[in-house]
Amino acid sequence: MTPLLGRPVMEHILCLLRDHGVKDICVTLCFRPQAVMDWFGSGERLGVQLTYFIEEEPLGTAGSVRNCMGHLGDETFLVISGDCVCDLDLSRAVRAHQERQAEATLVLCHHPAPLEYGLVVAGPDGRVERFVEKPSWGQVVTDLVNTGIYVLSPATMARVPETGAYDFGRDLFPAMLAQGAPLYSCALEGYWCDMGDCGAYLNCVCDALSGKVKLDAGLPQRSPGVWSAQPVPPEVSVVPPCWIGENVRFGKGCLIGPHTVLESGSEVGERAMVQRSVLLENASAGPRTTLYGAILCRGAAAQRSATLNEGAVLGENALAEEGSTLLERVKLWPGQTAPAACRLARSVTSGSQKGMLRFGDGGVIQGTLGEDLGPEGLLALGSALASMGDTGLGCSDTPGARMLARAAAAGIAAAGGRAVTHGLPVPVQGAWLAARQAFSVSLFVEEENGRIFLHLFDRQGLPLERAAQRKLEHTLAQGELSRVRAGQVGHLERLELSQGEWARIAAQAAVLGHPSLRRVTVAVGYDSPADLAIRAILLALDCRLEDQWRPGIPAFSAGHGGFRLTAQDEKGALLDSGQLLALIALIEMEDGSGKLAVPAGASAAVDLVAAGYGGEVLRLDRDGQAARELYSGLPWFWSAPSAAARICARMMTSGQSLETLISKTPRFSVWKREVPLSSDRGKVMQALAGEYANAGQGEGLRLRTGNGWVYLTPLARRSALRVMAEGPDLELAAELCDFYAGRAAALDRAASKQDDQEKGRET
C-alpha cells in the first residue's frame, strides 16, 4: 500500500497483470487486510476481478497459494508479489513455461546488487541446476536473481503439504530440484525491484521518474520530465524529473528536484530545497529546509532550517524541529521528535537511540567500545534476538564486556524474551554451550584491548548463516525495538557451569577409544582466557602441563576467541592452524568416522588426507545443512581447546610425538594477498567464475591448478578480494597467488572501464 506516483505499489502490479491479459486475480492477505480490500474492492475500477484470501496464521509463500487452489482450479497460474515494482514481459514467461512443458518456471532478472537476493544457476536450456539463497560476496557467480515471480502448473501445488507453513524458495523448489522435477527458469530483460526498505523505495521512485521502469504517471506532463496535477507557480524552480500531486503548496523561491515526488496535500516552504526526496500525503518541509535523499511519511514535518541528509526518514507524524540536522540514514520513528538545533547521528525509536550493527568476515560484529559500539546498540540487538527464541548470553570477564552483556539482557527482557547467562569466559565456550543447550540463538560479547567482538551462534553452536545475519541486520536497520507491558517482561536465568565442568565434558568427548600408552607433557601459557581454557581441558585429560615451551615437549596456543589453534612441535617448529587442521583430519580418518566437515577456506591438505583413506570431506559453504550438522558434532575442527585435547589424546594412545604425527600430513605452503577492487565485487566474481568453469561450488571460487590450489573470495565489508594459494613449496604458492591476483585486478579494471562507459552514455 506504499504510494508510488500517487497510487499504491500493488496497483501498478495489478495494472501490469491486466495489460498481459491476467484479469482473474487472487490476493492473499495477512497483515491489515481491510486496508487493501477497502482500497481495491472487487477490482472493477482497474478492469480486473479480485478474490481475497485471508491467512488467519502465516502459511508461508507456498502455503498461502495452496489456500487459493479451490479458486485457481486446473489452470496454469502466475504468482507475483504485491510489493515489487517491475515491467517484465510476463507473457513471455508463460510462453516459455508452456513450450518447455515445465512444472514450475522461475522468472529471473539481472540485478546490479545480487547480494540481497536468492540466486538461481541454470543450464543453457534454462533448467534449474542449483540455488544460492541470500549469498555472500563469495557466492555471487551470477547476477540472475529470483524475482519471486513464478509460473506454476497445478501439479506443483500437489507437492505442498495440506497443513502448516511451507515456502516456495526454502521448501518446495529445493525438493523439486532434488527429485528431478521439470523445474525451469526464464530470464527476462526489464526492471524489477523488491521494495524491502526505505532505501530501495527511494531508489525505485528515482528509477520511475527517470523512465528506467515503465509506469503510468497518472498525471499530465506539464514539461519534459515534470508531471503535475496543476500548473507549477512561476516563482518555484523545478528541476526534472519530478512528480507533483494534487493540492501541493509551495513557498516562494523553493527549489524542487531533480528526482522528487510530492504526494497530495504536501507542502514545501519558502526558499526550501527538496532534491531526490519523497513527501507523502500531508507531509511538509518548512521554510529554508534542505532535504536530499530523504523520505517524509504521512503527516511528518521538517520545520524551518532543518536539514535531512541522504537516507533520513521521518515516520508518520514525526517532527524535525527548527534547525535540527539528521545525518545519513537517521530515522525518526512515528510520532518521535528531533529537538530544535540538535544534530542526530542515530535513529530515534520510542524515545531510545540505536546504532548500526553489521556482520563482518567470519560472521562477527566488531566495534570500538564508546565509539561505534555501546549499550544502545546492544539494547537493540537484545530486542531483536528475543524474537528468535531463548537466547544464550555470555561475555569476557572484563567491565566493558559485562556492561554490554547486561544491556543485551535488558533488551531481551524488555521484548519479553528469555535470556540464559553463563560464566564461561571464552567465545568458543559460548559456541560449545549453544550447541549443548540448543539455544535458538546465542550471543557472546568478547572484549580485547577496547575492541568488541560480538559472536552470534545458532542452536548448533555455529556462526549464524548469512540469511539469518541479513535478517538480523535488516531488523536493526529498521529500528524495530519490541517492547512489552509489565506482566510480559522476559526472564533472566543463570546457568551455573564452571570452567572445570566444561573441561571435563569437553575432554571426555575428545578422548579416543584406545588405551593410553603414556602420559603427555605439554606447554601452555597463561596469556589469554583461551589459553587458560586449553590448560583446563588438558588437565582434565590428565596431561602434565608446563608454562613455557622447551625442547622435547610440544606447546599449544589459542587465538581468535579460542577458534584457532597454533603449536610448536618438540623441536620448536611452528605449526599453523592449517597444518593442525590437516592433522585433526588424519586423526578423524584413523580413529573417527572417516567423514568430516570443514569451513570454506580450509586447506586442500584436508581433502588429500581424506582421499588417502577413502574418506569424505564436506564443506560448510557447499554441502548445506548436512555439513553444518556434522561440523557441529566435531568440535575439534572448530574449537582450539578441543583440537589440542584431540591431538594430545592421539599422542597418548599412539605413543608418538607431535612431530611424528604432523609428518604424516601433506605439506602445503600458503601464500595470501588482498586485491583492492574499484568495481563491483559481484562483477569480478562473475567474470572469474566465467573464466574458470572448473571452480567448485560454494563460498568463493576454489580452483585446482597443477600441484596447487587457489581459493578466491571477496571480503564482506571491504571492496577487496582475498587470494589464498597453496602449493608443495612456498615459491609455487607465491607464483599462483600472484597470477590469480593479477587476473582479478585485470578483470576489475575491465569492469571499471565498462562502468565508466555506461555512466558516460547515461550522462
Spatial separation of the C-alpha atoms in residues 15 and 38, rounded to whole Å: 18
Residues 290 and 329 in one domain: yes
Residue 724 has pLDDT above 70, yes or no: yes
List the CATH number of the domain containing 24. Answer: 3.90.550.10
Above pLDDT 90, what percent of the chain?
Answer: 65
**Is 202 part of any domain?**
no
Grid cell at residue 648? 594430545
pLDDT band for position 353 (50/70/90)? Answer: very low
pLDDT digits (tens, 9 = 90+) for 128-183: 998 876 656 555 566 788 899 999 999 999 999 988 889 998 899 999 999 999 99
- Judge whether residue 699 has pLDDT over 80: no
| Residue 544 or 132, more confident | 544
Among 306, 329, 349, the domain boundary falls at 349
Do 399 and 475 lie in one domain? The reply is: yes
CA–CA distance, 642 with 126 (Å, rounded to integer): 47
Give yes or no for residue 594 having a pLDDT over 90. no
Among residues 201, 223, 203, 224, the alpha carbon closest in space to that of 212 is found at 203
Instruction: Give the per-residue pLDDT at 605.
Output: 87
Dist. CA 623–CA 404, nearest whole Å: 35
Q: Are residues 37 and 167 located together in one domain of the fold?
A: yes
So what's the pLDDT on residue 694?
Answer: 66
Q: For residue 700, what are the domain limits?
A: 669-762
DSSP 599-645: -TT--HHHHHHHHHTT-EEEETTTSHHHHHHHHHT-GGGT-HHHHHH
Instruction: Tell me if 84 sits within 8 A of 61, measured CB to CB.
Output: no
> Residue 369 — pLDDT band, cuts 50, 70, 90?
confident
Same domain, 154 and 185: yes
Q: Which of 136-140, 308-312, 427-431 has the lowest mean pLDDT?
A: 136-140
Q: How far out from the chain centre does Cα 271 lie?
A: 42
As to burial, measured by CB atoms within 10 angstroms (0-12 exposed, 13-18 middle, 19+ buried), residue 34 is exposed
Cα separation, 462 vs 629, whole angstroms: 9
Identify the pLDDT of residue 259: 97
**Could you tell me if 142 and 180 lie in one domain?**
yes
Q: Please tell me whether residue 290 adopts helix, strand or coil conformation.
A: strand
Q: Is 676 a member of any domain?
A: yes
Number of residues assigned to the chain = 763
Whether the CB-CB separation of 225 and 209 falls below 8 Å is answered with yes
Provide the 10 A C-beta neighbour count for residue 527: 11
**CB 136 within 8 Å of CB 684:** no
Establish how many alpha carbons lie within 13 A of residue 72's alpha carbon, considering only the half-sphere containing its beta carbon: 25
Q: For residues 505 and 497, what is the distance between their CA atoms, to the nearest angstrom?
A: 11
pLDDT value, residue 480: 58
pLDDT in tens, 488-534: 899 899 999 999 999 999 999 999 888 888 999 999 999 899 999 99
Per-residue pLDDT at 116 = 65
Asked whether residue 35 is domain-assigned, the answer is yes
Looking at 319, 349, 379, the residue that finishes a domain is 349
The helix or strand, by DSSP H or E, that contains position 646, with its residue range, turns out to be: helix 640-654
Shared domain check, 125 and 22: yes
Cα–Cα distance, 400 to 402 (Å, whole number): 5
Q: Give the pLDDT confidence score for residue 591 in this predicted structure.
A: 83
Burial status of residue 324 (CB atoms within 10 A of its CB: 0-12, 13-18, 19 or more): buried
**How far apart, in Å, are the Cα atoms of 263 and each of 229, 390, 418, 564?**
10, 44, 44, 56
Distance CA 674, CA 658 (A): 33
User: CA angle 555-559-564, nearest 5°?
Assistant: 85
**pLDDT (average), residues 3-27:** 95
3-class DSSP state of 677? coil
pLDDT (0 to 100) of residue 242: 97
- Segment 209-234 shows an average pLDDT of 94
Distance in angstroms (rounded) separating the CA atoms of residues 688 and 702: 11
Measured CA to CA in angstroms, residue 525 lies from 87, 507, 531, 658 at distances of 64, 19, 6, 18
- Report the pLDDT value the prediction gives residue 135, as an integer from 0 to 100: 53
pTM of the entire structure?
0.62
Q: State CA 282 to chain mean position distance.
A: 35
Which residue type sits at 484? V
**Whole-number Å distance between alpha carbons of 256 and 269:** 11
Upstream peptide bond of 258 is cis (omega within 30 degrees of 0) = yes
Beta carbons of 375 and 450 less than 8 angstroms apart: no
Q: Tell me, what's the pLDDT at 693?
A: 65
- In this structure, the strands spanning 183-187 and 595-598 are unpaired
Residue-averaged pLDDT of the chain: 90
Q: For 38-48, write each residue's pLDDT tens digit.
A: 999 999 999 99
Contacts of 663 (CB under 8 A, 6+ apart): none
- Res. 19: pLDDT tops 70: yes
Three cell numbers at 264? 497530495
Q: Residue 762 class from Cβ within 10 Å (0-12 exposed, 13-18 middle, 19+ buried)? A: exposed
Q: Do 15 and 159 lie in a common domain?
A: yes
Assess if residue 494 is contained within a domain. Answer: no
Q: Is residue 241 part of a domain?
A: yes
Identity of residue 277: S
Task: Give the tens place of pLDDT for each residue, 648-680.
Answer: 999 999 999 999 999 999 888 888 888 888 887
Residues with Cβ within 8 Å of 644's Cβ and at least 6 positions away in sequence, in order, are 522, 524, 534, 537, 538, 556, 558, 565, 567
Residue 495 lies in a domain: no
Q: How far apart are the first and last CA of the chain?
A: 33
Task: Indicate the burial class of 242 (C-beta count within 10 angstroms; 0-12, 13-18, 19 or more).
Answer: buried
Predicted confidence band at 351 (pLDDT cuts at 50, 70, 90)?
very low
296, pLDDT greater than 50? yes
Mean pLDDT of 199-224: 93
Peptide bond into 241 cis (omega under 30): yes
- Shared-domain flag, residues 751 and 699: yes
Domain count within the chain: 5
Beta strands 441-448 and 451-457 are antiparallel
601: CB partners within 8 A, 6+ apart: 699, 700, 711, 713, 724
The CATH number that applies at residue 727 is 3.30.310.50
pLDDT-wise least confident of 66-75, 388-397, 451-460, 467-476: 467-476
Examine the domain organization and report whether 101 and 248 are in the same domain.
no
Q: Which of 142, 141, 81, 87 is nearest to 111 (CA)?
A: 142
Can you give the C-alpha Rg of the chain in angstroms? 29
Give the integer Cα–Cα distance in Å for 268 and 284. Answer: 6
Residues 322 and 362 in one domain: no
The pLDDT of residue 157: 93
Mean pLDDT of 421-444: 96
d(CA 278, CA 535) in angstroms, rounded, equals 61
pLDDT band at residue 761 under the 50/70/90 scheme: low
Q: Which residues contact 479 (CB under 8 A, 6 or more apart)?
A: 331, 333, 347, 349, 354, 380
> Please, which pLDDT band fits residue 335 given cuts at 50, 70 and 90?
confident
Q: What is the pLDDT of residue 669?
A: 84
In this predicted structure, the answer to whether residue 735 has a pLDDT above a threshold of 80 is yes
Same domain for 382 and 433, yes or no, is yes
Predicted pLDDT at 373? 80
CA distance 109 to 117: 11
Among residues of the chain, what percentage have pLDDT more than 70?
94
Query: CATH number, domain at 330?
Result: 2.160.10.10
pLDDT for the residue 47: 95
Q: Please, which pLDDT band fits residue 566 given cuts at 50, 70 and 90?
A: very high
- Does residue 504 share a domain with residue 362? no
d(CA 681, CA 686): 9
In the prediction, which pLDDT does 653 show? 94
Last residue of a domain, one of 139, 162, 194: 194
Q: At what angle do helices 499-510 and 529-540 cross, to 10 degrees?
A: 60
Q: Is the pLDDT of residue 342 over 70?
A: yes
In the predicted structure, residue 355 carries a pLDDT above the cut 70: no
Alpha-carbon distance of 737 to 672, in angstroms, equals: 7
Residue 212 lies in a domain: no
Residue 27 lies in a domain: yes
Paired with 373 in beta bridges are: 369
In whole angstroms, give the CA distance from residue 492 to residue 485: 16
Mean pLDDT of 73-77: 92
pLDDT tens digit sequence for 103-113: 999 999 988 77
- Give the pLDDT mean for 575-601: 90
Mean per-residue pLDDT for 615-625? 86
Which among 646, 672, 642, 679 has a CA at the least distance from the CA of 661? 646
